[in-house]
Chain A
Amino acid sequence: MTLSVTAPSRATHQMADAWRRQISLRRLYTVLGVGLLLAAMFASMWFADEANAGHFFDRLPHILDFLSWLIPKDWNDVWRALFDIASPHDTGTQEFNFPLGRVYVWGGFYIPEYFELMLTTVNVALVSTFIGFIFAVPFSFIAARNLTPHPVLRLVVKRFMELLRAFPEIVIAGLFAAIVSTGPIAAIIAIGLHSIGALGKLFYEINENIDMRAEEGLRAVGANWFERVRFADLPQVLPNFMSYTLLRVEINVRASTIIGAVGGGGIGEELKLSISRGFGAKTLALVLLLFTTIFIIDQFSAWLRRKLVGEQAFLMGA
């Protein structure tokens, strides 16, 4: 066998050059892009630091000071604060008035204040998710390209949901706080309206990807729009709807905590007060309770979602 070596032709050379040029151009773009991003990042850091009340490098050595108030003198106070048990350190100040907030249910049996507040926050999240679900399901069928009863109606509903999604929640909460008095109802309305938009978007995107054969079958036997949606489309998408709704519950628990902090009642308000006044034991008790609740809800909803739709519920983005 002879080895034939032919010199690379000019065309090959040209191709190789073009390839190299392209690679170096791409590298240049990458470097430029990363450089731009870094520049934007450092500019942002400077801007954020400049606009802040305390500056980063001034405050950095004092980070641990801020932790010092958080660590209670008596660790048992955390439990006492959590379960509303009288503390021996009680001197009549707000810092240790643990038994004051007890919510008596039956005789001497009480729900500790923080558990009651946590319950409020969770209930706000659940009710508002329910509101979101109830409205988002019909909206999503109207807004889906393949199922819509009328294209104009579809556009209107889509824009409406976009508006609900983008509208800042605190504005709705603030508006309704002035109407139905501050408290959980305003928070429910705010988070509920937002959930309609958020769930509606996810739902109609699911609807646009369904298998249309069932729908065509029902259309062939003369079913009307409601019958088609109910018997052909809903059964296909319901597990996915449920999965996204559960995800929304997780998000809404967080949202209702935050809305709570700006006047929506619940645990957020108490947490904000406690941190701003520097009540170590109370803050730790609240953080512990909130953290545990969110963790449990997240894990439970993840488990339920896995049962409903399998692993695909966990691939977001892309």
Chain B
Amino acid sequence: MATMTAGEIRSIEERYPQVFRRPLYKRFAPLFLFVGILLYLVYALWFFSLPQVLRESHWERLPLFLMQWVSYDLQPEFRLDQPEITPKYPRFSALGENPNPDWVIKNADGTFSVLIDGPGKSVTFDKSKATIVANGETVPVLLTGGKPVISGPVPDWITAHDDEVVAKMGFAGEVRVTVDRVKVRKRFLGWANFVFDTRSPFFGRSASEVVSLIVSGPELKPGTSNLALAGDNIWNNAQWQHGDVWTKLLQTIVMAFLGTLLGGIVAFPLAFFAARNITPNGLLSQVLKRFFDFMRSVDMLIWALFFTRAFGPGPLAGSAAIFFTEIGTLGKTYSESLENIDDKPREGIKSTGANGLLVQRYGVMPEVIPVFISQTLYQWESNTRGATIIGAVGAGGIGLKLWEAMRTNSNWANVFYMVLLTLAVVFIFDNISNFLRRRLSRTIHDYNRIQAEQG
């Protein structure tokens, strides 16, 4: 490769000043942009007082909450100041009315054993002494001296407070011991009573038992077949509220469908009047385009709040909100794709003496309909996601239910159930819409290919 002489380099420099002598602001534009963004971030840090918020946040709750998404716990309590020690379960515990779990053992010598994770993680106690076993260590706690006293060294998984000894056993649970009670929390992986709640006559039976009851068992509730009873019990499960959740989910789907479809139906004729190349009247086109901008800029939230006020909370308000926003969005995209069409088919139809309507029908529609449908499907897809969130302000659907379940901070398993359902719906509708759009884009391809072949 030949080396360049200084003269050649200079001549190239002179020939291309736009490359070698760029103005200062252009040369340093990326640097300015970078510094600008950095300054903005510092400002945002101050604006949201991020260091303070982070200092006051409770990150230790995050794994706890995430754990609650896929597990549940049972919390038996044993009073030691009664004449006889009996386990007490909180009301509405997942074990039902008469709990008798096999991990709470009444020993022959009058002591109780609670197996939190087998014998390796357990507690055995009577009125005078509790023995906590975990991590290969055995820790005796004396309860007779007016406060719990640990004899021997205290391992790091036990915290000894003044009046309470707390033993944390990781995911499996924990034991809290005071002189007058022993409290156990045992955590189970999975969702409790997902199918039948504790009030159902099918509660606590194995799957094969339930099936045989449904197929050939005696009527558990006179007058209704066991199948109908089981269905009713599942649908009205008090803890999981399957019926309500599924209905609300359907509402969300309906909101997105109805809003998008109606928006498309209204936007379709308007778009023709808004497209500059189809409507010769510039004023009308401008007015319609500003109208579309207006409908879009008055946010979906504002529409949702107004319609919730007008129609009362429910899917009607949500559909109306999506409908109004969609008139703007679809009107805009429709009219933009109308402005980008090929004019030749229109001219051809016009040259045959067809009237205005026929020109649109045969000269414009075949070209834009697949594009319109594709755009509508895209919006449908994104509204299915958006409808969830609109619901939380009262516009119907699963959003409000999700929000209420989260508010209490205790019902994370229900939240996760609804999240899974929402994810499934979004996934299914994404795929339907993608499939249809791919089919359509093939149609568009064919159309373009035929056009190209015919010149």
State the A residues within 8 Å of B (CB). 37, 40-41, 44-45, 47-49, 51-56, 59, 62-63, 66, 119-120, 123, 126-127, 130, 163, 166-171, 174-175, 177-181, 183-185, 188, 254-255, 257-259, 261-262, 268, 271-272, 275-276, 278, 287, 290-291, 294-295, 298, 314-318
In the bound complex, how far is the Cα of B400 from the Cα of A168, in angstroms?
Answer: 12
Contact of B403 among A49, A185, A262, A315 (CB under 8 A): A262
10 shortest interchain CB distances as A-B pairs: A52-B314, A53-B312, A54-B312, A174-B406, A52-B316, A180-B57, A317-B375, A48-B315, A262-B392, A275-B305
CB-CB under 8 A for A47 and B254, given A259-B389, A318-B374: yes
Does any Cβ of A come within 8 Å of B385's Cβ?
Answer: yes
Give the distance to chain A from B42, nearest Cβ to Cβ, in Å. 12
Within 8 A of A (CB), among B417-447: 419, 422-423, 426-427, 430, 437, 441, 444
The residue in chain B whose Cβ has the minimal distance to the Cβ of A175 is: B65
Give the distance to chain B from A116, nearest Cβ to Cβ, in Å. 10
Contact of A126 among B40, B61, B437 (CB under 8 A): B40
The answer to whether B258 and A181 have CB atoms under 8 Å apart is no
Contact of A52 among B47, B293, B311, B403 (CB under 8 A): B311
- Residues of A contacting B437 with CB < 8 Å? 317
- Residues of B contacting A54 with CB < 8 Å? 310-312, 314, 316
CB-CB under 8 A for A127 and B297, given A56-B311, A168-B419: no
Question: In the complex, which of the residues A37, A175, A298 has the most CB atoms of chain B within 10 Å of its own CB atom?
Answer: A175
The answer to whether A254 and B301 have CB atoms under 8 Å apart is yes
Does any Cβ of A come within 8 Å of B298's Cβ?
Answer: yes
Question: In the complex, which of the residues A59, A168, A259 has the most CB atoms of chain B within 10 Å of its own CB atom?
Answer: A168
The answer to whether B336 and A315 have CB atoms under 8 Å apart is yes
- Residues of B contacting A167 with CB < 8 Å? 419, 423
CB-CB under 8 A for A63 and B310, given A166-B423, A261-B305: yes
Contact of B44 among A123, A181, A287 (CB under 8 A): A123
Residues 41-82 of B, flagged 1 when their CB comes within 8 A of A and 0 if not, give 100100110100110111101100100000000000000000
Give the distance to chain B from A55, nearest Cβ to Cβ, in Å. 8
The answer to whether B300 and A254 have CB atoms under 8 Å apart is yes
Contact of A174 among B403, B422, B423 (CB under 8 A): B403
The answer to whether A188 and B48 have CB atoms under 8 Å apart is yes
Does any Cβ of A come within 8 Å of B347's Cβ?
Answer: no
CB-CB under 8 A for A318 and B371, given A49-B316, A166-B426, A171-B406: yes
Contact of B299 among A62, A175, A290 (CB under 8 A): A290
The residue in chain B whose Cβ has the minimal distance to the Cβ of A177 is: B406
CB-CB under 8 A for A59 and B310, given A126-B40, A179-B59, A291-B297: yes
Does any Cβ of A come within 8 Å of B93's Cβ?
Answer: no
In the bound complex, how far is the Cα of B340 from the Cα of A315, in angstroms?
Answer: 9
- Residues of A contacting B44 with CB < 8 Å? 123, 126-127
Give the distance to chain A from B60, nearest Cβ to Cβ, in Å. 9
Give the distance to chain A from B40, nearest Cβ to Cβ, in Å. 7
CB-CB under 8 A for A261 and B393, given A123-B44, A254-B301, A317-B375: yes
Give the distance to chain A from B423, nearest Cβ to Cβ, in Å. 5
- Residues of B contacting A126 with CB < 8 Å? 40, 44
Give the distance to chain A from B293, nearest Cβ to Cβ, in Å. 7
- Residues of B contacting A278 with CB < 8 Å? 309
In the bound complex, how far is the Cα of B254 from the Cα of A39, in angstroms?
Answer: 13
Does any Cβ of A come within 8 Å of B268's Cβ?
Answer: no
The answer to whether A181 and B396 have CB atoms under 8 Å apart is no
- Residues of A contacting B273 with CB < 8 Å? none
Within 8 A of A (CB), among B266-320: 293-294, 296-302, 305-306, 309-319
The residue in chain B whose Cβ has the minimal distance to the Cβ of A124 is: B48
Within 8 A of A (CB), among B209-266: 247, 250-251, 254-255, 257-258, 261-262
The answer to whether B301 and A258 have CB atoms under 8 Å apart is yes
The residue in chain A whose Cβ has the minimal distance to the Cβ of B392 is: A262
In the bound complex, how far is the Cα of B297 from the Cα of A275, in angstroms?
Answer: 18
Contact of B255 among A37, A41, A48, A55 (CB under 8 A): A48
The answer to whether A44 and B312 have CB atoms under 8 Å apart is no
The residue in chain A whose Cβ has the minimal distance to the Cβ of B372 is: A317
Write 30 A-B pairs (CB below 8 A) sorted by A numbering: A44-B258, A47-B315, A48-B254, A51-B314, A51-B315, A53-B312, A59-B311, A123-B47, A127-B41, A130-B41, A166-B422, A168-B389, A168-B422, A170-B399, A174-B402, A178-B58, A180-B56, A188-B48, A258-B300, A258-B301, A259-B389, A261-B301, A261-B305, A262-B389, A291-B299, A294-B297, A316-B378, A317-B337, A317-B374, A317-B437
In the bound complex, how far is the Cα of B249 from the Cα of A47, in angstroms?
Answer: 12
- Residues of A contacting B142 with CB < 8 Å? none
In the bound complex, how far is the Cα of B370 from the Cα of A63, in angstroms?
Answer: 37
The residue in chain B whose Cβ has the minimal distance to the Cβ of A37 is: B261
Give the distance to chain B from A220, nearest Cβ to Cβ, in Å. 15
- Residues of B contacting A168 with CB < 8 Å? 385, 388-389, 399, 402, 419, 422
- Residues of A contacting B310 with CB < 8 Å? 54, 59, 62-63, 66
- Residues of B contacting A255 with CB < 8 Å? 389
Give the distance to chain A from B36, nearest Cβ to Cβ, in Å. 12
In the bound complex, how far is the Cα of B54 from the Cα of A298, in angstroms?
Answer: 32
- Residues of B contacting A41 with CB < 8 Å? 257-258, 261-262
The residue in chain A whose Cβ has the minimal distance to the Cβ of B58 is: A179
The residue in chain A whose Cβ has the minimal distance to the Cβ of B437 is: A317
Does any Cβ of A come within 8 Å of B123's Cβ?
Answer: no
Does any Cβ of A come within 8 Å of B131's Cβ?
Answer: no
Contact of A51 among B47, B57, B251, B444 (CB under 8 A): B251
- Residues of A contacting B390 with CB < 8 Å? 258
Q: A52-B317, A178-B61, A262-B393 are in contact. List 12 more A-B contacts (CB 8 A).
A: A44-B257, A48-B254, A51-B315, A163-B423, A168-B388, A168-B422, A170-B403, A180-B56, A254-B301, A272-B305, A295-B293, A317-B378
- Residues of B contacting A45 with CB < 8 Å? 258
Contact of A170 among B65, B293, B340, B402 (CB under 8 A): B402
- Residues of B contacting A290 with CB < 8 Å? 299, 302
Does any Cβ of A come within 8 Å of B35's Cβ?
Answer: no
The residue in chain B whose Cβ has the minimal distance to the Cβ of A188 is: B48
Does any Cβ of A come within 8 Å of B100's Cβ?
Answer: no
Does any Cβ of A come within 8 Å of B189's Cβ?
Answer: no
The answer to whether B65 and A178 have CB atoms under 8 Å apart is yes
